[in-house]
Amino acid sequence: MGHLPQNLINLAFYNIMWKTIILFLLLVITGHLSSGQKSTIIVLGDLHYDNIGLHDMNWLKDKPDDLRQVKEYTEITENNWDDFMSVLRNKVLTVRPQVKALIQLGDLSEGLAGTEEKADQMAREIVRAVENAETGVPWIIAKGNHDITGPGAGESFLRHYTPLLRKQTGNSGIINASYTYRSGNIQITCIDPWDKSTDMVKFLDEELTSSDAVFKFVAIHEPVIPVTERCWHTLRRDPARREKLLEVIARNKAIVLCAHLHRYSVVRRNTPYGPVVQVMVISVVNDRDYVKPDKLITRYGPSLAENVPDWEPSTIESRKAILAEEAEFVTYYKQTDLPGYALIKTDEKKGTVKLEYYAAFGKKAYDKVNLSELLKK
């Protein structure tokens, strides 16, 4: 039998070599041959986007506190929204590891439109504002109470926010504000405390337990652990379901991302199934130069109820009792009123989740917390 010509042997060798190189590159690109994916997520709290023209002023005239808020948030939106979106776009372009998504934790809008027509107009305006922000990454949006407050607001949320969620996530199966988004080794599950058509605890349990994601996050507007004087936390009137919710979160080593109370806070609470770590963010930036807090609270317990003594003094004793009971399980706590945004950076190889909190328009991180250390038993 004769030998193959040398040129054919060389050609076959180079074909095999190039196919090997291409396969290697594909494996690296898809993450199958990486030593561990690294990612960043931007986290926003309440934004309360508003415009005075989106409200029926006759409906508001007998609601002085709501009217005050509408005027305040309209001014903040006019003064700071565009520049704040510019800050976020810059982070997407410059932060490393690469930003994979932006989580907005509810109260994206101010709500309180006053009529069904105005509520529809407000929801459409919100969709335009998100799309015009052009951040370059998907917005993963949780439902907030303000997003569905006022005549027609709930229906407008379903009519306009739901298609926005589908478009942003690429998930055409989303039917309400309880849904999951997956990016590489990161899973973000949004849950909705107000939609009674979905059992949010059961839904969360199924979504987290069935997932092989390395890093799991729960996005919810209300906190699951009370961290301010108001003691406003989800399922506070249903202790048994709340305990089950904490169990599901702890068992799956998920990190809770929440908003609602207009504070920046990090807390760690023990459960029989492991710790629950919760991060609260507020993103209503009024003063863009407010980058250092007037007060930082690090002591958790009944004294928190006295932090704002004029707020509902008639309930202060019951709130102290709630905080005293929770304090038995809380091992780490900080809270301040600094508005801004968070960067959460994950590193699969090191197994770390690290938080950087940026106050207002500040260029340097105000605070850094190793969340993966807090997750350890």
Closest CA to 344 of 319, 365, 328, 313: 365
Percent of the chain with pLDDT strictly greater than 70:
91
pLDDT at 377: 80
Please report, as a single letter, which amino acid is at residue 31: G
State the pLDDT confidence band at 270, using cuts at 50, 70 and 90. very high
Strand pairing partners for 335?
265, 297
- The 10s digit of each residue's pLDDT in 352-376 is 999 999 999 999 999 999 999 999 9
| HEC secondary structure over 230-266 | CCCCCCCCCHHHHHHHHHHHHHCCCEEEECCCCCEEE
Residue range 42-71: average pLDDT? Answer: 97
Could you tell me which residues come within 8 angstroms of residue 251 by beta carbon, excluding any fewer than 6 positions away?
Answer: 209, 273, 274
Residue carrying structure tokens 């305006």: 125
Strands 264-269 and 276-280: antiparallel
> Confidence band (pLDDT; 50, 70, 90) for 36?
confident
The pLDDT, as a whole number, for residue 312 is 95
- At 3, is the pLDDT very low, low, confident or very high (cuts 50, 70, 90)? low
pLDDT band at 331 (very low <50, low <70, confident <90, very high): very high
Q: Quick one: pLDDT band at residue 335, thresholds 50, 70, 90?
A: very high
Using one digit for the tens of pLDDT, what is the confidence trace for 278-326?
999 999 999 999 999 999 999 999 999 999 999 999 999 999 999 999 9
Cβ neighbour number for residue 106 with a 10 Å cutoff: 28
Q: Which helix (H) or strand (E) segment is 217 a member of? A: strand 215-219
CA distance to 127, 220, 343, 359, per residue, from 44 (Å): 16, 12, 9, 11
| In contact, 306 and 209? CB cutoff 8 Å | no
Judge whether residue 33 has pLDDT over 90: no
Res 277 pLDDT > 90: yes
pLDDT tens profile 184-237: 999 999 999 999 999 999 999 999 999 999 999 999 999 999 999 999 999 999
User: What b/e readout covers 22-47, taking b as 16+ CB neighbours within 10 angstroms?
Assistant: eeeeeeeeeeeeeeebbbbbbbbbbb
- Give Cα separations from 376 to 182, 222, 268, 319, 351 (angstroms): 24, 24, 10, 29, 11
Size of the chain, expressed as the number of residues it contains: 377
Q: Where are the domains of the chain?
A: 1-33, 37-375
pLDDT in tens, 92-144: 999 999 999 999 999 999 999 999 999 999 999 999 999 999 999 999 999 99
Q: Give the mean pLDDT of 334-358.
A: 98
What is the reported pTM? 0.91
Establish whether the linkage from the previous residue to 97 is cis, with ω within 30° of 0.
Answer: yes
**Residue at 360: amino acid letter:** A
Average pLDDT, the chain: 93
Does the pLDDT value for residue 31 go beyond 50? no
DSSP characters over 101-146: EEEE-S--B-----SHHHHHHHHHHHHHHHHHH--SS-EEE---TG
- Domain 37-375: give its CATH code: 3.60.21.10
Residue 82 neighbours by CB distance under 10 Å: 12
